[in-house]
């Protein structure tokens, strides 16, 4: 009886130290809608930047083909592309933020109706760093074998 009690205390200490962790189930019952909105907004900004690069190239090629001069077509295409570079990602971020806010709110409504989502967790594999290399030269106050000749033992 005492051995079993002793093992459970030792196991509890190991779990508290993070040495021994079991597979656990966690239930998600609520998300913060503004965090979902911020995630979707930033994702929209990144997508907007990709769209801007494609639109910039398309407008540069279109203006170059429309004019007989390569230089004037490139300058007109770059001017429109520069305005697009400033305006379009901001619009994509704003629209993504509003859509993300609505998605977060709807997600919370569904979570309340279904009593949450269960998520399983398990411990990650530990990654150990390589040991630091040993110094070949002694530091201040040391000799090569590690003893200071000025101190007595």
pLDDT at 2 over 60: no
pLDDT at 41 over 80: yes
Domain ranges of the chain: 23-121
Report, as an integer, the average pLDDT of 124-132: 65
Write out pLDDT tens, residues 90-112: 999 999 999 999 999 999 999 98
3-state SS class at 58: helix
pLDDT at 117 over 60: yes
Residue showing tokens 């990144």: 46
Query: Tokens at residue 19, please?
Result: 């040495």
3-state SS class at 27: strand
Query: Three-class SS string for 59-100?
Result: HHHHHHHHCCCHHHHHHHHHHHHHHHHHHHHHHHHHHHHHHH
DSSP string, 90-128: HHHHHHHHHHHHHHHHHHHHHHHHHT-EEEEE-PPPP-P
């Amino acid at each position: 009886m005492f051995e079993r009690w002793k093992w459970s205390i030792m196991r509890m200490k190991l779990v508290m130290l993070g040495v021994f962790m079991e597979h656990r189930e966690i239930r998600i019952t609520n998300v913060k809608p503004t965090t979902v909105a911020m995630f979707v907004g930033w994702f929209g900004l990144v997508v907007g930047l990709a769209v801007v690069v494609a639109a910039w190239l398309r407008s540069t090629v279109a203006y170059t083909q429309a004019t007989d001069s390569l230089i004037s077509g490139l300058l007109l295409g770059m001017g429109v592309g520069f305005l697009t570079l400033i305006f379009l990602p901001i619009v994509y971020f704003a629209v993504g933020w509003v859509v993300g806010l609505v998605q977060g709110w709807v997600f919370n409504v569904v979570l309340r109706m279904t009593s949450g989502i269960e998520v399983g967790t398990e411990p990650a594999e530990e990654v150990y760093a390589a040991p630091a290399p040993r110094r070949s030269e002694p530091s201040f106050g040391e000799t090569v074998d590690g003893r200071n000749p000025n101190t007595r033992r």
